[in-house]
């Protein structure tokens, strides 16, 4: 019987696994991601097995560091004239302190303009004097005298024209005044003639005309005469008294109608008043005289009437 050979015993397992670095398979495997599993009892709000990184909360974000604002530059103080280094200044405007530079520029332009104007005036005066001396040296008239003579002739021409214009104005005024006076005389004569035609009974050349002339001389108006000459002698005397009183109080023109009214009121309340009048109605028969000192010479009532009419017209000019 053949001999039975026993199977070799299995090799014992190694006590420890070889190092990962010695195993090619382990060395080529990708690294395993770190576990994001929270500690027990902590809820991350993500489903189980989710490996998404949770966003950081505001508390986890660090606060920004405060930035320092640049300090505002203080304006340059206005320099004092006593502390400026005048001895070291080069005379340029740009070398002056900033606050006064603009003022200095304006002042420089101002005085430069004044200097130019003064230079121009001095140059013109020098040229004028040179022309005068040159003219005198050459034997020609003084230019100043020539200029003054020219101005004198201009003023003489203006004066002559003014004199001629004044003469024309005077002539026109005299002509106008003559025309006005002629019209005035014609109109006065016309009104006097109309008054005489209306009151012909007063122009008798006798006592009535004398009485009317006297009343006009005392200051009565033409419209007052017919009423005065027909008044009773007593009423006429009272009217003359009232008329003198009004004139003494300063009422010169137009006192006749008021004197007549005042006398009539007083006459009505006077007992035993006379009824005779200077003229009986309009017939011209004399029954009394208005004044004891009436003129004895012949009166010219026509001339007096014309004179009063002219006075009335002159007062209305």
C-alpha count within 13 angstroms, C-beta hemisphere, residue 78: 4
This prediction's pTM = 0.40
**What whole-number distance in Å separates Cα of residue 280 and Cα of residue 288?**
9
For 272, the 3-state DSSP assignment is coil
**pLDDT tens-digit profile of 104-142?**
888 889 999 999 999 999 999 999 889 889 888 888 888
Percent of the chain with pLDDT over 70: 64
47: which DSSP letter?
-
> What percentage of the chain has pLDDT greater than the value 90?
18
Tokens 């930035």 appear where? 67
d(CA 213, CA 300): 7
pLDDT tens digits along 75-93 = 667 778 888 888 888 888 8
Q: What is the mean pLDDT of residues 149-175?
A: 92
Q: How many whole angstroms separate alpha carbon 114 and alpha carbon 107?
A: 11
**Residues 235 and 267 sit within 8 Å (Cβ to Cβ):** yes
pLDDT in tens, 287-312: 444 444 444 444 466 677 777 777 76
Answer yes or no: are the C-beta atoms of 252 and 212 closer than 8 Å: no
Lowest mean pLDDT among 1-10, 110-119, 173-182, 218-227: 1-10
Residue ranges of the domains in the chain? 94-140, 199-315
């Amino acid at each position: 019987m053949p001999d039975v050979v026993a199977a070799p015993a299995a090799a014992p397992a190694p006590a420890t696994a070889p190092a990962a670095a010695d195993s090619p398979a382990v060395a080529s495997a990708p690294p395993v991601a770190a576990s994001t599993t929270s500690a027990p009892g902590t809820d991350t709000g993500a489903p189980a097995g989710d490996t998404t990184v949770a966003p950081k909360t505001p508390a986890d974000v660090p606060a920004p560091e405060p930035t320092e604002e640049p300090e505002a530059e203080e304006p340059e103080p206005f320099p004092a004239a006593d502390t400026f280094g005048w001895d070291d200044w080069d005379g340029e405007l740009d070398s002056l302190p900033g606050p006064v530079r603009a003022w200095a520029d304006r002042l420089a332009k101002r005085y430069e303009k004044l200097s130019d104007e003064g230079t121009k005036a001095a140059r013109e005066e020098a040229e004028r004097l040179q022309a005068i001396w040159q003219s005198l040296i050459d034997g020609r008239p003084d230019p100043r005298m020539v200029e003054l003579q020219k101005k004198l002739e201009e003023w003489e021409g203006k004066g002559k024209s003014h004199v001629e214009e004044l003469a024309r104005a005077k002539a026109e005024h005299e002509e106008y005044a003559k025309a006005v006076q002629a019209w005035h005389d014609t109109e006065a004569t016309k009104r006097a003639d109309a008054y005489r035609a209306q009151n012909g009974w007063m122009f008798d050349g006798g006592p009535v005309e004398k009485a009317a002339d006297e009343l006009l001389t005392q200051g009565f108006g033409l419209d007052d005469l017919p009423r005065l000459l027909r008044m009773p002698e007593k009423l006429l005397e009272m009217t003359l008294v009232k008329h003198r009183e009004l004139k003494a109080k300063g009422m010169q023109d137009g006192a006749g109608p008021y004197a007549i009214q005042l006398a009539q009121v007083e006459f009505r309340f006077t007992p035993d008043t006379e009824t005779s009048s200077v003229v009986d109605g309009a017939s011209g028969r004399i029954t009394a005289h208005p004044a004891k000192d009436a003129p004895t010479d012949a009166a010219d009532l026509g001339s007096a009437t014309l004179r009063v009419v002219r006075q009335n017209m002159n007062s209305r000019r």
